[in-house]
Amino acid sequence: MAKRLDVQNFEQYFGNKEIIDFQDIENYYRTSEPAIPYPTINWRIYKLIQSGKLQRVGKGLYQLGKANIFVPPINNKMQKIEVFLQKRFPFIQYCQWDLSRINDFAHHLINFNVSFVDVEKDAVESAYYTLKERFSKVMAVQNLYDGLSEFNNYIIVRPLITEAPIQKTGKIHTATLEKMLVDLAVDKEFMPFQGSEIYAIFESAMEQYTINQNTLLRYAARKNKKEEIKKIITINRQ
């Protein structure tokens, strides 16, 4: 099998290529096997992924190396929020994430934290008032009147865009890294992190973790910001 996959030469051939598409892989194998059928190419891609030599980063898009999916650490506050929301709103979509996570990627670190709870649009107001019953520091995003640093330890309630990429970390509904990156790049409450800093955040995130480009751009399109995100990705790859 290893001979058919030609792993060593494959890694050398694509060693300097950040994004590999299906056409690249097809051309690589057809150089030595012109009649290789498509199912065989797909099988080899599957085996390369299974062995950790290749990772899928979008539809028909790949990178060398094993996939490393971002899994946010869960703290006690997030657990309390989850239990509370599940009890009061068992059927709505929502997710939560902490601003302090950008310290994993940013050049300029922050010494404060804000918790974000993104709730489907029709339930935002209800979730806001309900959270205020349980937690002392809760703010609706439209009521922000200063920089986020003035709201240390607050819960900020925001509307969740439909089809936003969310995940479950254990029992906690959390934002995916793709969602966090797009929000940081385009939402007005994150303006202090935009400009040159957002390029550093994207670059570091893409170096450390597997980013699904299709998911990233699809979510950006839902916010009418696809071109802005494509620009960030393109510049980071130059």
82-121 pLDDT, tens per residue? 999 999 998 999 999 999 999 999 888 899 999 999 999 9
For residues 42-58, give the mean pLDDT.
87
Alpha carbon distance 44, 5 (integer Å)? 6
More confident residue, 132 or 6: 132
Contacts 24+ apart (CB under 8 A), 199-203: 199/232, 199/235, 199/236, 200/105, 200/106, 200/107, 201/102, 201/105, 201/106, 202/105, 202/232, 202/233, 202/236, 203/236
Quick one: pLDDT at residue 65? 84
Quick one: pLDDT at residue 174? 96
pTM, two decimals, is: 0.84
Quick one: pLDDT at residue 18? 82
Q: Which residues contact 90 (CB under 8 A, 6 or more apart)?
A: none
Alpha carbon distance 101, 104 (integer Å)? 6
Quick one: pLDDT at residue 19? 86
Quick one: pLDDT at residue 97? 96
Quick one: pLDDT at residue 3? 53
Quick one: pLDDT at residue 195? 84
More confident residue, 58 or 173: 173
Phi, psi values for residue 170, rounded to 5°: 65, -120
Phi, psi values for residue 209, rounded to 5°: -135, 160
Residue 9 CB-density burial (10 A; 0-12 exposed, 13-18 middle, 19+ buried): exposed
Quick one: pLDDT at residue 236? 60
Alpha carbon distance 174, 165 (integer Å)? 9
Indicate whether 1 pLDDT > 60.
no
Q: Which residues contact 98 (CB under 8 A, 6 or more apart)?
A: 72, 75, 78, 113, 114, 115, 116
Quick one: pLDDT at residue 238? 55
Alpha carbon distance 124, 95 (integer Å)? 12
Quick one: pLDDT at residue 63? 86
Most confidently modeled of 58-67, 141-150, 151-160, 195-204?
A: 151-160
Quick one: pLDDT at residue 218? 94
Mean pLDDT of all residues belonging to the chain: 90
Alpha carbon distance 93, 3 (integer Å)? 48
More confident residue, 154 or 236: 154
Which residue has 């130059």 as its token pair?
238
For residues 193-214, give the mean pLDDT.
90
Largest CA distance in the chain: 68
Quick one: pLDDT at residue 32? 87
For residues 186-198, give the mean pLDDT.
91
